[in-house]
């Protein structure tokens, strides 16, 4: 498919971008190039890159044709010049931060992000001489006040994990540009189906592709997209630090991505119906879902995503943390597990809080509501 992806619907891009029939066999689907190495051209003809390495494919840590297809697909879906894949979401988060920031630089980071991202940022960055301020990213004055002359980047999730706070990307983009810094957005919860952060001021967009991009809970992977000048150093970082995606996992992402639009339609529909149902349930104290009009980020989310609110919600129960544990233990269809963005519904009681995070799957909504009702009745 031609890469002028703006001309096409997201579903068309998801299915066709980055691939066509295999040039050697005509196979409709991209083969899994399950190989560590590739035959080098004749030494006398070998064209070298400035790094001294051969051009083209030569070793899968550095590049692989199956991986190249998912990278092209993600670039097209995010409207980016370039994209890179890694062995996990943490692989692209670390690559994005450590290629953007240098010792002496400063990071402004949302204080409501995935706990392991937070752990990486607060444990690893200071060790490398990079200062960090964690702020409430929905408080734009707090963000502006945290900016210093040495601020190199702002990092946020568009929809935060697990509170579903909505980041004002256009406003954060302006603050970042004024500071001559970079805006890095983790778009794992929203996916390009809800919005393309690069169109709203982000410099790099990244995903735990383990989640909605794969969609089936069968691969751990990460992808990032942005301008070539920012993705190229990330690619070198991922090769040097040894965190490339495997060809098989790249292929699983290719297959998963082809139905992203269909799955996201149903995730959004189910989450919206479940959120509305739980909102009026006596056992539920609060529902955090940006699609509900009482959510503080509802209007902002609605304006940025064209009224698509995703498949994630969190709930607080009237019976507190103990009830959350009991509720999660009584569910029969939904599975108590970490991770999210799976076709199956996954619930996670959040340690130390009266909060259950729900990754709403694509099952029949009446079955899900019945399962939640029976579990709440016993909680």
Considering the complex, state which of residue 360 and residue 376 has its C-beta at the smaller distance from ligand PLP.
360
Are 312 and 360 in contact by the 8 Å Cβ rule? The answer is yes
Q: Would you count residue 222 as binding ligand PLP (CB under 6 A)?
A: yes
Q: Least separation, in Å, of the C-beta of 74 and ligand PLP?
A: 14
Distance (Å, whole) CA 240 – CA 361: 37
Residue from 82, 94, 210, 243 binding ligand PLP (CB under 6 A)? 210
Tokens of 368: 């899900």
Tokens of 316: 């607080």
The position carrying tokens 């409207």 is 79
Distance (Å, whole) CA 47 – CA 126: 41
Q: Would you count residue 88 as binding ligand PLP (CB under 6 A)?
A: yes
Distance (Å, whole) CA 50 – CA 55: 10
Residue from 19, 157, 203, 316 binding ligand PLP (CB under 6 A)? 157
Q: Least separation, in Å, of the C-beta of 204 and ligand PLP?
A: 13
List phi, psi (to 5°) of 152. -100, -20
Are 311 and 360 in contact by the 8 Å Cβ rule? The answer is yes
Q: Would you count residue 117 as binding ligand PLP (CB under 6 A)?
A: yes
Give the binding range for ligand PLP (CB under 6 A) out of 84-92, 136-144, 258-266, 326-334. Answer: 84-92
Q: Least separation, in Å, of the C-beta of 7 and ligand PLP?
A: 30
Are 175 and 143 in contact by the 8 Å Cβ rule? The answer is yes
Residue 29 is given by DSSP the state: S
Residue from 30, 94, 208, 257 binding ligand PLP (CB under 6 A)? 208
Cβ-based neighbour number of residue 179 at 10 Å: 22
Are 17 and 264 in contact by the 8 Å Cβ rule? The answer is no
Q: Would you count residue 205 as binding ligand PLP (CB under 6 A)?
A: no
Q: Nearest residue to ligand PLP, using CB?
A: 89
Considering the complex, state which of residue 19 and residue 157 has its C-beta at the smaller distance from ligand PLP.
157
Q: Would you count residue 89 as binding ligand PLP (CB under 6 A)?
A: yes
Residue 87's nearest CA partner among 227, 261, 245 is 245
Residue from 33, 57, 114, 289 binding ligand PLP (CB under 6 A)? 114
List phi, psi (to 5°) of 171. -70, -40
Considering the complex, state which of residue 207 and residue 235 has its C-beta at the smaller distance from ligand PLP.
207
Considering the complex, state which of residue 89 and residue 244 has its C-beta at the smaller distance from ligand PLP.
89
On the CB side of 3, CA atoms within 13 Å amount to: 14
Residue from 10, 77, 90, 355 binding ligand PLP (CB under 6 A)? 90
Q: Would you count residue 220 as binding ligand PLP (CB under 6 A)?
A: yes
Give the binding range for ligand PLP (CB under 6 A) out of 4-12, 85-93, 133-141, 282-290. Answer: 85-93
Contacts with ligand PLP by CB under 6 A lie at 88-90, 114, 117, 157, 161, 186, 188, 208, 210, 220, 222
């Amino acid at each position: 498919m031609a890469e002028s992806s703006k001309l096409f619907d997201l579903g068309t891009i998801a299915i066709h971008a980055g691939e066509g029939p295999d040039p050697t066999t005509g196979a409709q689907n991209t083969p899994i190039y399950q190989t560590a190495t590739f035959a080098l051209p004749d030494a006398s003809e070998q064209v070298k890159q400035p790094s001294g390495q051969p051009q083209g494919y030569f070793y899968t840590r550095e590049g692989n044709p199956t991986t190249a297809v998912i990278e092209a697909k993600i670039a097209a879906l995010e409207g980016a010049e370039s994209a890179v894949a890694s062995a996990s979401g943490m692989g692209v988060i670390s690559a994005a931060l450590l290629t953007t920031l240098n010792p002496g630089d400063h990071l402004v980071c949302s204080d409501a992000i995935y706990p392991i991202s937070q752990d990486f940022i607060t444990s690893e960055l200071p060790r490398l001489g990079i200062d960090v301020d964690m702020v409430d990213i929905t408080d734009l004055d707090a963000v502006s006040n945290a900016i210093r002359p040495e601020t190199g980047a702002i990092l946020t999730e568009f929809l935060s994990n697990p509170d579903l706070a909505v980041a004002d990307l256009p406003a954060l983009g302006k603050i970042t540009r004024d500071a001559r810094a970079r805006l890095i957005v983790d778009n794992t919860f929203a996916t390009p189906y809800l919005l393309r952060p690069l169109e709203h001021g982000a410099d790099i967009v990244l995903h735990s592709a383990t989640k909605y991009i794969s969609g089936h809970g069968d691969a751990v992977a990460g992808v990032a997209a942005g301008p070539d000048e920012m993705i190229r150093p990330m690619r070198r970082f991922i090769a040097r630090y040894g965190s490339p995606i495997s060809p098989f996992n790249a292929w699983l992402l290719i297959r998963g991505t082809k139905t992203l639009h269909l799955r996201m339609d149903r995730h959004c529909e189910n989450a919206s119906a479940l959120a509305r149902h739980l909102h009026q349930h006596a056992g539920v104290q609060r529902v955090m879902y940006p699609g509900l009009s009482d959510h503080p980020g509802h209007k902002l989310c609605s304006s940025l995503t064209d009224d698509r609110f995703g498949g994630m919600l969190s709930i607080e129960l009237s019976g507190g943390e103990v009830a959350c544990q009991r509720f999660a233990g009584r569910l029969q269809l939904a599975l108590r597990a970490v991770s999210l963005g799976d076709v199956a519904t996954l619930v996670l009681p959040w340690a130390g809080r009266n909060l259950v995070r729900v990754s709403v799957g694509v099952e029949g909504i009446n079955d899900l509501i019945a399962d939640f009702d029976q579990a709440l009745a016993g909680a």
